[in-house]
């Protein structure tokens, strides 16, 4: 399961999540984006680019993870759910495609 959100909370794509759940997760991602921006404005350097939510107290595997990334200065959230297979071919292709797209728009030199 995964969703792709814009930094302002729109669901751009989803797989495995019902539409209403994907929309809710994408809106939550926008709230996290605003929180990170406010903390950075205050000078707090402890804000990262990811937020994970856990069901189990032992916190071994998150149930939902919000991962922030930028392409050409625009923020996006990748929201994998459940136990994502990080070596999954589709995820590897997605990340490679994002990297290639970002490289095309990065000025050289």
3-class DSSP state of 80: strand
Q: What is the pLDDT of residue 109?
A: 45
Model confidence pLDDT, tens digit, residues 32-90: 877 777 777 877 765 556 666 666 666 666 678 888 877 777 788 888 887 666 667 77
Contact 9, 29 (CB under 8 A): yes
Ordered domains of the chain (ranges, CATH): 2-104 (3.30.450)
DSSP single-letter state for residue 31: H
Residue 18: the pLDDT is: 93
pTM above 0.85, yes or no: no
Q: Provide the pLDDT for residue 85.
A: 63
For residue 20, pLDDT beyond 80:
yes
Convert 26-65 to b/e letters by CB count within 10 Å (16 or more is b): bebbbebbeebeeeeeeeeeeeeeebeeeeeeeeeebebb
C-alpha span between 86 and 74 (Å, rounded): 24
């Amino acid at each position: 399961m995964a969703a792709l959100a814009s930094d302002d909370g729109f669901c751009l794509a989803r797989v495995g999540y019902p539409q209403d759940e994907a929309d809710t997760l994408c809106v939550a991602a926008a709230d996290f984006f605003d929180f990170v921006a406010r903390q950075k404005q205050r000078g707090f350097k402890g804000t990262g680019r990811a937020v994970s939510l856990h069901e189990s107290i032992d916190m071994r595997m998150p149930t939902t993870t919000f991962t922030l990334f930028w392409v050409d200065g625009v923020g996006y959230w990748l929201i994998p759910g459940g136990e994502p297979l990080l070596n999954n071919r589709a995820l590897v292709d997605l990340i490679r495609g994002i990297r290639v797209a970002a490289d095309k728009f990065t000025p050289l030199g």
